C-alpha cells in the first residue's frame, strides 16, 4: 500500500467518524426537541429552555442539507491538526523533516498565495492547492506578478510564494542576472507595499535537463538568474528556498519529456521544501 492509499484510508475513517457524529446530533435533536417543546408549553418562561431548542432546531434543520460541507470542514480541520502535530521545529530552530507518508503536506498550507508560471500551475492543476490561491499560467514571467497584486492585496495572505523563472530566462526580456534583479526589485517592492505584513517565500528557479538547454539555449541562464533572485531576497529580508539539490536528485525520474516541466510526483517534495522554509521563517 503506497502513501496515497494510506492517506485515502485515513480520510475515509475520518469521514465515517464525522458522519456518525452528525447522525448522533440529528438523533439527539429528535429526542430533545419534543421534550423542550413540552416544557415550554408547560409554562417555563425562564428563557433558558426556549433558547436551547431554537439553536438545536436550527442545527437539525440545516444538518441534512449541509452535512457534506460540515463533514468536509471537519475532515480538513482534522488533517491540519494531525499534520501540524507531526511537523515542527528542532531545538536549533530548523524545521523537522516531514515524512510525506505520514503527513498530508497540503493541509499545512493556509493563508497563502502562489504566483508563478506553468510549473507553479501544477499546484492547482493536480488539485494539490486551491485554484483561487494559485495565480500561475503558462508563459508568465515575474513581471506578470504586478498584474495580480490587487487581487493578492484583497486576499491579504500571510505567505506569498514566488515560483517563476522558466520563462524569465527564455523570453529575452532581461539579458542577464543584473537586469533581472532590477525587475525583481520592482515586484518585491510592489508586493511589500500591497501586503506589508506578508512574507515572500521565493523558490529557486528549477533547472532543466541538458537536452532542454540544447533545444532552448536561453535556459542556460537559469543559474545566473537564480543567483539574482537569491540576492534580491537577501536585500529585502525575504526567504529564498534552494531547491537545486532536490532537483538534482529528482530530475531523472520526475522531469517531463520536454526536460523542464514536472511530473505530478515532484510537487509534494517541492511543497515540503517550501513549507519547511516557511516554518523556520515564521519562528525566527
Can you read off the three cell numbers belonging to residue 44? 417555563
Query: What integer pLDDT is reported at residue 128 of this predicted model?
Result: 98
The pLDDT of residue 50 is: 33
Q: At residue 199, what are phi and psi to the nearest 5 degrees?
A: -105, 130
* Ramachandran class of 165: left when φ > 0, alpha when ψ lies in -120 to 50, beta otherwise: left
- Which grid cell sits at 231? 540576492
**pLDDT the model gives residue 21:** 52
pTM for the complete prediction?
Answer: 0.73
**Cα–Cα dist 203/271, whole Å:** 10
- Taking residue 32's Cβ as centre, other Cβ atoms within 10 Å add up to 15
**Which pLDDT belongs to residue 72?**
65
| CATH code of domain 105-282 | 3.40.50.1110
What is the distance between the alpha carbons of residues 132 and 137, in angstroms, rounded to a whole number?
13
The residue assigned the cell 457534506 is 68
Residue 85 has a pLDDT of 56
Residue 234's pLDDT is 98
- CA 141 from centroid of its chain's CA atoms: 21
* Residue 33: predicted pLDDT: 40
Q: Domain extents for the chain?
A: 3-86, 105-282
Mean pLDDT by 10 residues, the chain (284 residues): 49 53 47 43 37 43 63 63 62 88 94 98 98 97 98 98 97 96 98 98 98 96 98 98 97 96 98 97 90
Residues 72, 58: Cα–Cα separation, whole Å: 20
| Distance (Å, whole) CA 208 – CA 167 | 12
- Kindly tell me the burial class for residue 256, based on how many C-beta atoms sit within 10 Å of its own C-beta (0-12, 13-18, 19 or more): middle
Q: What is the 3-state secondary structure (H, E, C) of the chain?
A: CCHHHHHHHHHHHHHHHHHHHHHHHHHHHHHHHHHHHHHHHCCCCCCHHHHHHHHHHHHHHHHHHHHHHHHHHHHHHHHHHHHHHHCCECCCCCECCCCCCCCCHHHHCCCEEEEECHHHHHHHHCCCCCHHHEEECCCCCHHHHHHHHHHHHHHCCCEEEEECCHHHHHCCCCCCHHHHHHHHHHHHHHHHHHCCCCEEEEECCCCCCHHHHHHCHHHHHHHHHHHHHHHHHHHHCCEEECCHHHHHHHHHHHECCCCCCECCCHHHHHHHHHHHHHHHHHCC
Residue 136 forms beta bridges with which residues? 116
Amino acid at each position: 500500500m503506497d502513501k496515497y492509499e494510506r492517506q485515502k484510508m485515513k480520510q475515509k475513517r475520518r469521514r465515517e467518524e464525522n458522519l456518525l457524529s452528525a447522525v448522533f446530533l440529528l438523533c439527539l435533536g429528535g429526542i430533545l426537541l419534543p421534550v423542550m417543546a413540552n416544557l415550554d408549553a408547560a409554562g417555563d418562561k425562564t428563557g433558558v429552555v426556549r433558547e436551547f431548542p431554537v439553536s438545536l432546531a436550527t442545527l437539525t434543520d440545516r444538518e441534512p442539507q449541509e452535512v457534506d460541507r460540515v463533514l468536509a470542514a471537519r475532515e480538513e480541520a482534522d488533517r491540519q491538526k494531525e499534520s501540524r502535530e507531526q511537523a515542527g521545529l528542532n531545538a536549533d530552530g530548523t524545521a523537522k523533516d516531514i515524512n510525506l507518508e505520514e503527513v498530508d503536506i497540503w493541509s499545512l498550507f493556509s493563508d497563502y498565495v502562489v504566483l508563478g508560471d506553468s510549473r507553479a500551475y501544477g499546484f492547482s492543476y493536480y488539485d494539490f492547492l486551491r485554484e483561487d490561491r494559485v495565480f500561475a499560467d503558462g508563459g508568465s514571467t515575474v513581471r506578470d506578478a504586478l498584474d495580480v497584486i490587487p487581487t493578492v492585496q484583497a486576499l491579504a495572505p500571510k505567505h506569498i510564494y514566488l515560483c517563476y523563472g522558466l520563462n524569465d530566462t527564455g523570453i529575452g526580456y532581461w539579458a542577464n542576472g543584473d537586469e533581472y534583479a532590477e525587475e525583481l526589485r520592482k515586484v518585491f517592492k510592489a508586493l511589500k507595499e500591497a501586503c506589508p505584513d506578508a512574507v515572500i517565500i521565493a523558490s529557486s528557479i528549477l533547472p532543466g535537463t541538458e537536452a532542454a538547454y540544447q533545444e532552448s539555449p536561453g535556459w542556460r541562464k537559469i543559474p545566473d538568474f537564480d543567483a539574482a533572485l537569491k540576492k534580491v531576497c537577501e536585500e529585502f529580508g525575504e526567504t529564498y528556498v534552494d531547491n537545486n539539490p532536490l532537483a538534482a536528485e529528482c530530475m531523472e525520474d520526475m522531469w517531463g519529456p520536454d526536460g523542464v516541466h514536472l511530473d505530478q510526483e515532484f510537487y509534494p517534495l517541492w511543497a515540503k521544501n517550501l513549507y519547511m522554509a516557511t516554518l523556520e521563517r515564521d519562528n525566527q
